[in-house]
Each structure stands twice: as structure tokens, then as C-alpha cells.
Amino acid sequence: MLKKPSSRASALRATRLATIVASLLGSAVPAFAADPAQLDKLTPSGAQREGNKDGTIPAWEGAVAALPGYEWGKLRRDHWKYRDDKPLFTIDASSVDKHADKLSAGQVAMFKQNKDYRMDVYPSRRTCGVPDFVAANTRKNAGTAKVAADGWSLKEAIVPGYPFPIPSNGVEAMWNAKMRYRGVGIDYKKTITAVSPRRGSSEWIRADSEQTLFIPTGAKGSHALSSHPPVEFYVYFAYTSPTALAGQALAITQFINQAENETFYYFPGQRRVRRMPTYSHDSPQIGMENQYTLDEPNVFNGALDRFDWKLVGKKEMIVPYNSFGGHDFKAKFEDVARNDFIAASHRRYELHRVWVVEASVKTGMRHSAPKRTVYLDEDSWAPLMMDDFDGQGKLAKLREGFAIPVFETGTCDVMAMVQYNVAEGRYVIDTHTLGTGADVRWVTEPNGPRYKAGFYTADNLRSISER
């Protein structure tokens, strides 16, 4: 007599069959079928509401609004609820081993290489929330959002919102980071990309520019991703100094479903726009002496196609958080940017739970950093840190993103960042406002030509660059 298969065995066979059919049809890979009711126990972004057992990480209570009197153009830190916090303790070269279990490999390396390096660790403040419409869209995404059949691009989601509030793999976690709500744009009237001197030198590379990031899927409301063109973001920036870069300008379109972005570059000496067909992934950025690649801004930037992304799980770690120092536009650049690292006065660290995702370059692919580990904030999904490893498995770089609560959007975000090239002893700071006299602005309502796709074409780049 044949034995009737168990319901579990039947379910497994059904799952396998569905996977095979999906592969044959080239359809999208379904997201983990999260029950929306599960989100009732979590925050709107899918984080744990409760604090940790030790009480060193508090319970989540929602976004922290600006103190009365804040308006754009004033220092953000001065209008933050916890501006008077004092450090709980300091980590330096003599105490790093005591805290190493809560630090990344890159962070530990900074202490080993720099005897004067320190991290001031402050009380943990869970200041990140989301607007109601983002929370509602995130609930709709549970069991609805889909990764495409290629295994790395995003097929469908309700935006703006986190596609996978309860992720089942690393690709889903990374799409939460990439699709986090940031408004429709981020605008810098003045910003600096700076590379520290070579060993034995005192000469910095300092490139001043204006930049605008346009995120069409960030429009308020509730929209299917498929109703938009498949664009993650557009970005424009134009250099004003140094002389070697002044006048050069770029317009980049980063796609949701294509590995290569579309980049147009204006060269003033030739008075022409060139299309850069391979200016993406680990391509070195022009003028930065091979210290900075296209996929390194904002901790991680670009397509997911070259790596396998493994979701390791959650971990309590000491990470940059509520780090307003990168947005201190009234500070003197020279006082903050030391030769070996950013001054401790303009870095803030806290203990938080983070999602750990490991990236390994795919067979047949290549990348200058074939292994990477990224740490994503559980409350905002913003990438807080990333360690890069070379082909021999040695630590190569550490990136830290200076996450802050954004008063304009009601969320947290990472723009200002630092990248330490551990192997060469140099570092890069980017998309910050130190010494510029002008703050960055997050934009929640489209206003002006920079919030239209037509601004980022080759013809328009040529037109505005030749004025």
C-alpha cells in the first residue's frame, strides 16, 4: 500500500515545481511570502521594536523631529533632541581588543595602523522613522515585491517603500538599502570630494562641485515600480575646482534592471559630451588617483549583478550613527580632515543592531574587491559600513557612512562618508559639506528642471555646460 505523502513533503515538492516553472518561463522570482501581520510586531521598516537585553540599545519609539526653530541653512546638530549627549566611553589603540567583537575588521585595522585614532561611543539613539505613506507601502510589499529572474534586479514593488521588510536573502536586503525613502532628490550647492596625501606628502586632492541626485520613485503616494521607467536614480555634478577638473560635468542614469549605467561626461577642453560605456562598478573615478571607484559613494552605489549576496543575520555593532559632523558646513576643512583620518570630534559612534550581508564575486565576473561585507542599519536600511577585501583575502578598504536623521523626510539617510584605503594609508571623504558654508538639502516635492528625466540627457548636459 502506498504511503500518503506528508503535507510538508507536498509543500516542498510544490515549491520546487514552482521554482522550475518560474525558471522555464523567465518570470520574476517571488519574494519571501511574509505575512503582513508579522509586521505588527516590528517597526514600519521591519526592525525589532524592543531594545536589547542589556538595555544598551533602547526600544524604538519613532522618528525624532527637529527642535523648534530649525529651518534649512541652520546647523542640523544644533536642532537635534540629543545634541547635549556625552560619550559613554572612548575606544583607542589600548582598548580596541576589548571591543573587537562589536567592530568590523576595517575598524579594528584603523586602530592598529594609527596610534592616535579613537572612537567616541555615545548613548544609542534610535532616531529613524518613516512617513505614514512609506509604512503603508512597505506593508503592501510583504509578499508582493519581486526580484527578477536574473536574481539581482528588482522586478516589482510598491514605492516609495522597503520592498522586503522581512528579507530572506542578501539581494532583498540590499534592495531595501537601495530603495530606502530619501525624498525625490538630494541637492548640494557646494560639496567636496577630497583624497588625503600620499605617505610622506602633504598635498591633498580637493575637488569642489555642485551635485543633484534625482530619485523618481521617491514621489509621495503609492505607485507600482513597474509604472515608472526602470531608473533607480539620476545624478548630475559639475566640478568648480581644481583647475584640472573645473568645468567637467557628468550626468548619470543608474538603472534598476541594467548592470551598466548610462554616463555622459562633458570635457570643457574639447567642448563636447562623450558617452562613457563602461564607467560603472569598480571603474576608477576621474581625477582621484585610483583611490575611489564608481560603486563606492554612499558606502555602496551601483548594480548588484557582479556579486552573490549572502544574508548572514543581525549583529550588535558599534557603528557611525547620528553623525552630524559630516554636515558641519561651518567647520574649517583643515581642522577636521587630518592627514590620516577624520578628527574624532566630527565622528559619532553608537551601539546598534545591523544586518550583515557578505558579497562574493560571482564565478566568471571580476571586481577589484572580490569580497565585501556590508552592515545595514536595522531601522533605516541605510548602509553604515562596508569592508572590502582583495583577491588574497586581505582587508583593503573600510567605508563609513555618517547616518543622520533627516528632518525634511522623517527618515535617516547616509550621504556624507569616509573611505579608508587601509593598504595604502590614504582616505577619501565625499558628499559632505565641511568648510563649504552651505548645507545639503533633501527635497520631498519636485521643483525645477533637475527633477525631470530630461535634465540628465547628453543634449542638456552640453547645453548647460557651455553657457
Q: Which residues contact 401 (CB under 8 A, 6 or more apart)?
A: 298, 299, 320, 382, 383, 384, 385, 414, 415, 416, 417
Nearest-5° Cα angle at 345, 354 to 200:
100
Q: Are 388 and 374 in contact (CB under 8 A)?
A: no
3-state secondary structure of 437: coil
pLDDT at 21 over 70: no
pLDDT, tens digit (0-9, with 9 covering 90-100), for 112-151: 999 999 999 999 999 999 999 999 999 999 889 999 999 9
Superfamily of domain 77-465: Lipoprotein localisation LolA/LolB/LppX (2.50.20.10)
pLDDT digits (tens, 9 = 90+) for 32-70: 445 677 888 999 999 999 999 999 999 999 999 999 999
- pLDDT of 335 reads 95
Residue 423's pLDDT is what? 87
The model's pLDDT over 398-434, given as tens digits with 9 standing for 90+, comes to: 999 999 999 999 999 999 999 999 989 999 999 999 9
Tell me the per-residue pLDDT of 228-252, one tens digit each, with 9 for 90 and over: 999 999 999 999 999 999 999 999 9
Average pLDDT score over residue span 441-465: 97
**Exposed / middle / buried, residue 410 (Cβ in 10 Å: 0-12, 13-18, 19+):** buried
Indicate the average pLDDT of the chain: 92
For residue 226, pLDDT beyond 90: yes
pTM of the model: 0.92
Domain assignments of the chain as residue spans, ordered by start? 77-465
Give the residue among 354, 453, 297, 331 at the shortest CA–CA distance from 102: 354
**So what's the pLDDT on residue 35?**
67
Whether the pLDDT of residue 264 is over 80: the answer is yes
Strands (E), 344-436: 349-361, 371-377, 383-389, 395-401, 404-406, 411-413, 417-421, 426-432
Spell out where 92-202 has E strands: 119-121, 146-147, 154-156, 158-159, 185-195
Give yes or no for residue 20 having a pLDDT over 70.
Answer: no
Q: How confident is the model at residue 444 (pLDDT cuts 50, 70, 90)?
A: very high
Q: How would residue 22 be classed by pLDDT, with cut points 50, 70 and 90?
A: very low
Predicted confidence (pLDDT) per residue in 142-200, tens digit: 889 999 999 999 999 999 999 999 999 999 999 999 999 999 999 999 999 999 999 88
Torsion of CA 17, 19, 24, 26, to 10 degrees: 150
pLDDT of 343-386, one tens digit each? 999 999 999 999 999 999 999 999 999 999 999 999 999 999 99
Interval 281-303 mean pLDDT = 96
Q: Are 109 and 395 in contact (CB under 8 A)?
A: yes
Looking at residue 34, what is its pLDDT? 58
